[in-house]
Amino acid sequence: MTHILQLDASARPGLAGTDVHGSHSRFLSQRFVSRWLAQRKHDTLCYRDIGQQPPSIINHDWIAASFTPDENREPWMQETLAESEELVAELIAADVLVIAAPLYNFGMPAALKAWIDQIVRPGRTIEVDDSNPLDPYVAKLADRPRHAVILSARGGVGFGVGGEMAHMNHLEPNLITALGFIGITRVHQIAIEGQEAGGDVLAQSVAQATRQIDALVTELQRALQPVGALQSA
């Protein structure tokens, strides 16, 4: 059984194509998850709408608590880290992480950055090995295969890998770096572009992204299928 963690980071609560000013990134994540569960009903889902309910921004108390060994933490430190512990536990449990996020001013939404800051945690998702000063970081989520699916939406065009505007896109590169740092290196990217242009440019991008999602669901479901099921298929 595969467990999915779905994060929607758009400030727009509705779905593109259904609601006025609806979110294209939410449309993509909804397509991915609904397609997945329609084909594998016994798989499970954890959903967080961080666009509407953003995680807390880390502060001095959070940093002090996070870098204090667990056995030395005072009660207020445990309380400070309670939200982070919940978010980290959700991530650790996931086999597939689905992140739906628009490109805001060349980077990720503030709510998604807050989530990243809450889950990159010493002793929880990353370990520091002082005996290896040249490469001291040990990614704790490399313990088993996990996949990340980044579903983004952009107002302009050419922000993808190899595009004319790729050098101005700091959404996917930032996410890939942060996720790789904690051990999630199997990353898949699909995006919708051309929201500002609209018309055929947007429509063609939506259609292409939809096809890519359907193909990716099939690919990942096969990759995550138990060995015995593959042999009997």
Enumerate the known binding-site residues for FMN.
10, 23-25
CA–CA separation, 184 vs 7, rounded Å? 16
Beta bridge partners of 190: 151
b or e along 69-106 (b: 16 or more beta carbons within 10 Å of the residue's beta carbon)?
eeeebeeebeebbeebeebbebbbebbbbbbbbbbbee
b or e along 46-59 (b: 16 or more beta carbons within 10 Å of the residue's beta carbon)?
eebebbeebbeebe
CA–CA separation, 41 vs 194, rounded Å? 34
Nearest alpha-carbon partner for 112 in 195, 29, 37: 29
Beta-sheet pairing, 126-128 with 137-139: antiparallel
